[in-house]
Amino acid sequence: MLISSSVFAAKVEADKLIGVGYVECLSCKYAAEKTDSLRRLIHYEISKSLLLELVSLEDMDKAMTDIKRRANESLTSWMMRVGVKAGIEKIVFATISENEKKYVTDKIAKFNVTIMAVDVKSGNIEIIQPADTDIDGELDNIFINGGDSISRVYHGHSEITEKTDGSFSLSYLYPQGDLKKRGAGSGFGFNLNVYLTRPFWLLLTFGGYYFQTEKTMINSLFMFPLSVNIPYYINVSYKLKIIPAIGGGWIFSIMEYDRVYFRASNRYEYKRGFFFNPVITARVETSYLLHDRYSLVAAPLFSYIAGQEGRKGYVYGLDAGLKITF
């Protein structure tokens, strides 16, 4: 069973991101060679990740040698101090407990394993993977699956890996308020989103929209919004996350409006205006990780546009597209 925190902790600046620490054997007969072999299995699985920087086991061994474990100190506390020494943000470690079955019922497994990934600075347990088995040989598979799970959890999570996400999405828009009263109908367009992670989380959005019109008061309408938003990451699972965001910016509009009928030429002409108006934006994005660094995204949108002469425009919409972690 894989459990991840709903919101991952903010990061510290570090050159190296993640390392594999100690595998502790509690009340069991395993030699150090066996626990070291299990530790190497986790390390190997995490090393397959395209997005994680992994500290070598030799460097982690040196950090554990330099930072001695205090008497009665918990494994988590010791691993956090080792992580600071190793210069990493996330540290992975595990415990194995062996139960003497002759003293317990058969319902209790022979081995209880707990694999964890912890944020070094905050101490938050970001991943915890418990597992039970009665078979010695199954321990290898538990640690292989544990390393693979950690790799997958951190894949695509740019708020942890400090990578930058970018998404391209197609948009459907429905205007309300003064926009609709003046004849603006459904709109279509695109959004380019850049998700920044340092020095703090930001979502930058640039879009281009075309609106259908009734050609009474408005003949054509194009909009180009640029906004800065503050996202909040809610990780439902390692593949699924929800990102509400709110912000503001400016929207540049090109509009042909206020038609005039010229009897001599028997045709209508329109004024062409350029407008630059403040906008408040909100969105709730759902992101589903497909593979490694690619995610499907969909988000309902809302924009409030403050127009001239007290006019107000509201735009509701829906975005859908592809996100890539660079």
| 6 pLDDT more than 90 | no
Q: What's the pLDDT tens digit per position in 243-293?
A: 999 999 999 999 887 777 665 666 777 788 899 999 999 999 999 988 778
Judge contact between 297 and 159, C-beta under 8 A: no
- Preceding omega of 225 cis (within 30 degrees of 0): no
Beta strand pairing status for 218-231 and 234-235?
unpaired
Q: What is the mean pLDDT of the chain?
A: 85
Beta strand pairing status for 18-26 and 3-4?
unpaired
Distance CA 29, CA 316 (A): 63
DSSP 8-state secondary structure symbol assigned to residue 308: G
Q: 235 is written with which tokens?
A: 């990780």
Where would I find the H helices in 2-154? 32-47, 57-66, 75-86, 138-154
Q: What's the pLDDT tens digit per position in 183-202?
A: 889 999 999 999 998 778 99
| 11 pLDDT more than 60 | no
Closest by CA to 154, choosing from 189, 174, 126, is 126
Q: 112 is written with which tokens?
A: 């209880």
The reported pTM is 0.68
Angle separating helix axes 57-66 and 75-86, nearest 10 degrees: 110
Judge contact between 187 and 172, C-beta under 8 A: yes
DSSP string covering 253-275, please? EEEEEEEEEETTTTEEEEEEEEE
| 7 pLDDT more than 60 | no
Q: Picking from 47-51, 165-169, 275-279, which range would have the lowest pLDDT averaged per residue?
A: 47-51
Partner residues linked to 288 by β-bridges: 240, 296
Greatest alpha-carbon span in the chain: 106
Please give the pLDDT value at position 15: 43
DSSP 8-state secondary structure symbol assigned to residue 54: B
pLDDT band at 101 (very low <50, low <70, confident <90, very high): low
